[in-house]
Amino acid sequence: MQDCGLLIHPEENCGLQPISLEYIEAISHPELKMCPSGDIKGQWIVPCLSCSDNRTCDWREITWQPHNCQHGVLTKPQLQQCLGGRKILFIGDSTNRGIMYYLIERLNETLQEWQKVHGTKLYPNVNGGKTLVSYSYYPQFWISPSLRPTFEKALEHLLQRENLLNILVIIKTLGIGFHLPVDGVHFLTQSEVQNVWKENMIILDAAKSYGYEVVDTFTITMGRYKEFLQGSCGCHFHEVVKSKLSQEFHFIKMKRSKNHTVGKYFSNQSKLQQDFVTNLQSPYHVRGPINQVCSEILLSRMCASKRTVRAP
């Protein structure tokens, strides 16, 4: 749930902890209910010979497991049908942009273009032209704070540009990756990171008070913050790489274990693995298991059953 190197909740356990057989059986139940929201607390589950030695763990099999529920993972046809005729608008920084490119690749099975967009860009060729995706970078940190447009202004500009009505708003919360001690880069102390968690809770409460959907990325990232990909201009839990003919399968494997299902989130759609085989005609590919989890939860909230409004 949290790394021992950066305790968010000092009163709770950190690092690898054994889970009971009863819990494994509970989350493996075929009728495990769907999660009602995107901020259900959970934990990363990984098979290990010993929880006291992380070298005995098969980290290729790590999965995100919400407590006592599962997020539905849609097949490509289900996703294409759900998002057909919709306009999807992403507003945020490069972490939102990574989720957007993941969505495009999921719908198209290919990612034909990729840019580090720091403005506004439209993507009309998604889902056979049936889904319009647009992105606006925010905040524009290179502009003086006194001249920088507010989030509301950025949102209003895109809503007017796209003539959007009947909107479902989904708020992605904060991530924890920017808090690694890196030379030349500002980072936060443990107490400051704990304050960020409190701020994250305020964001969640405020979003839900307005009736918005949420995806709590802070909880997902705080146990694996050391996997934050560092770079001079790219600091994310994802990376976009050029595809190679020899790379036939990039995504984390989602298959059942021999004796029981671990990680209902990834195993309830066994067909998903073959849907994710890299298209050899795709010049780019979005890689990163943490970004994948956050993106799939977002898609599940967009396409939750009994939805009466369209996704933004």
Residue pLDDT tens, the chain, 312 long: 998 988 999 999 999 999 999 998 888 888 899 999 999 999 999 999 999 999 999 988 999 999 989 998 999 999 999 999 999 999 988 888 889 989 999 998 888 777 777 778 889 899 999 999 998 888 777 788 788 777 777 777 767 776 767 788 899 998 886 666 666 667 788 898 899 999 999 999 999 998 899 999 999 988 888 776 655 445 676 677 776 643 444 343 333 333 333 344 444 433 344 344 445 567 777 878 888 999 999 999 999 854 433 333
For residue 297, give the 3-state DSSP assignment.
helix
Provide the 10 A C-beta neighbour count for residue 164: 16
Structure tokens at 247: 């790379």
Q: Say if CB 303 and CB 291 are below 8 A apart.
A: no
What length is written for the chain?
312
128 dihedral zone (left: phi>0; alpha: psi -120 to 50; beta) = left
Provide the 10 A C-beta neighbour count for residue 179: 21
Kindly report the pTM of this predicted structure: 0.81
Q: Angle at the Cα of 133 (from 148 to 173), degrees rounded to 5?
A: 55
Q: Does a structural domain hold residue 127?
A: yes
d(CA 302, CA 79): 10
Q: Which domain holds residue 115?
A: 1-304
Q: Does a structural domain hold residue 22?
A: yes
Q: Does a structural domain hold residue 310?
A: no
Structure tokens at 151: 């989030």
Q: What are phi and psi of 284, to 5 degrees?
A: -130, 160
d(CA 247, CA 243): 7
Q: Say if CB 158 and CB 120 are below 8 A apart.
A: yes
Closest by CA to 304, choosing from 81, 11, 115, 34, is 34
Q: Does a structural domain hold residue 309?
A: no
d(CA 169, CA 207): 9
Structural domains of the chain, count: 1
Q: Does a structural domain hold residue 150?
A: yes
